[in-house]
Structure 1
């Protein structure tokens, strides 16, 4: 299966460089580009790529607003996977993009292999959450924000095992690593994750990790359970 990608960045050289890098891969096709958020939204809706590489800071409509428009379309319309690109590893815009449903973010200075891998990860429906910089971003900003209103009842709707799985997701563990930690089958982990997302009304792992910190289930910097918790199954 070929992964169709659109690159949105206001620097032509960046668009060309990322485009050439991705186009060199046999399973990736670069279908278009955009120099600002408004154009990114229009081209994405026209070309319908699988993944949009979206720069956070662009003139006019920035990447955050563009991501929101693409990830919350009316009437259940087409939604791409959005991978945010940023020069700064602690950027409040990226945090807001994760809340909006972006599948993750990547620093522009990351090695080329990381970019290719990230596109494949988000195209497969996973979230790019494993790098420690992502967790640090969420921890730092969650530390300065009040707890999410009304989060406690939603957390209590989880079983004890589902709460455990959510904690592991927040720590950046993969399904395989969670399965090993809990001594269960990987398919069981996938089932738990599907139930967690449904109960908490979340789109994917990216939103799940943000919720875990914002709700207080995870205490920033500790990775330990916080003031709210799930009930016993």
Structure 2
């Protein structure tokens, strides 16, 4: 029932569903058989050795360069987020996400970006292993960004969608896109995934 709901919520103009699985074993088999660009993965998928989505990713390590995983869960518990991110997931969203935002998230992960539901930034920091003694903020790098660009950078690095950033800062989505392009260019980064890592290493989230 849940899979049917997710499938119905996805925009067919943006996302093509090529297969489904209802447990760890069948998920691993389907991933190796179909090699989809993105796997939308239930964190608590039953079966296997009880490792859920993280186990699927670990058992598909040989195709991680070809297949990207986006975790989906009702849980925003730290242990769930950290487990799948460390296993190799490129994003983590909760089941409260809307259909349009989920479709957009799949596209972003396919394009190489990292996508996280808002307010999961602390768990992402843990997943990246950033501790209190790690890299300090480099003022010269931050100084390249305007105050507004820094605001946008922090929200994007926390996993906010362009629409959520626009709503938070009361600006248009087009303006958000312009700021993100400027931030990536000034910091010499190529994707949101790199931006999240950059911000996490500097404890800016």
Q: Same fold (TM over 0.5)?
A: yes
Secondary structure of the structure 2 residue equivalent to 1:31: coil
Structure 2 vs 1, CA of residues 57 and 39 (structure 1 numbering), >3 Å: closer, same or farther? Answer: same
2:131 corresponds in structure 1 to 147
Matched, 1:97 2:84: yes
CA distance in structure 1 between the aligned counterparts of 2:182 and 2:34, rounded to whole angstroms: 39
The TM-score, its normalising length taken from structure 1, stands at 0.59
Maintained 8 Å contact 1:68/1:100: yes
Structure 2 vs 1, CA of residues 54 and 122 (structure 1 numbering), >3 Å: closer, same or farther? Answer: same
**TM-aligned CA deviation for residue 114 of structure 1:** 1.9
Point out where structure 1 has 5 or more consecutive residues left out of the alignment.
Answer: 1-12, 195-203, 224-233
Secondary structure of the structure 1 residue equivalent to 2:39: strand
Please give the residue correspondences for 1:53-92 in structure 2 after superposition, counting only pairs within 5 Å: 53-61=40-48, 62-70=52-60, 72-73=61-62, 78-92=65-79
CA distance in structure 2 between the aligned counterparts of 1:88 and 1:179, rounded to whole angstroms: 33
Paired residues, what number?
A: 181
Structure 2 vs 1, CA of residues 179 and 113 (structure 1 numbering), >3 Å: closer, same or farther? Answer: closer
Match of 2:5 among 9, 17, 20: 17
Point out where structure 2 has 5 or more consecutive residues left out of the alignment.
Answer: 163-174
The TM-score, its normalising length taken from structure 2, stands at 0.66
CA distance in structure 1 between the aligned counterparts of 2:73 and 2:103, rounded to whole angstroms: 16
In the TM superposition, structure 1's runs of 4+ consecutive aligned residues that sit over 6 Å from their partners are 162-165, 167-170
Please report the RMSD computed on the Cα atoms of aligned residues, expressed in angstroms. 3.9
Match of 1:209 among 175, 196, 205: 196
CA distance in structure 2 between the aligned counterparts of 1:99 and 1:212, rounded to whole angstroms: 18
2:171 corresponds in structure 1 to none
Secondary structure of the structure 2 residue equivalent to 1:82: strand
CA distance in structure 2 between the aligned counterparts of 1:168 and 1:37, rounded to whole angstroms: 40
Per chain length, whose mean CA-contact separation is higher, i.e. which structure has more relative contact order (CA < 8 Å, sep 6+)?
2
Matched, 1:193 2:189: yes
**Deviation per CA, 1:2-44, whole angstroms, max 9, x where unpaired?**
xxxxxxxxxxx1112222333x512321111111222212101
CA distance in structure 2 between the aligned counterparts of 1:163 and 1:95, rounded to whole angstroms: 31
CA distance in structure 2 between the aligned counterparts of 1:30 and 1:185, rounded to whole angstroms: 34
2:104 corresponds in structure 1 to 117
**Deviation per CA, 1:152-173, whole angstroms, max 9, x where unpaired?**
5xx89x99428988x8797233
Match of 1:134 among 96, 103, 120: 120
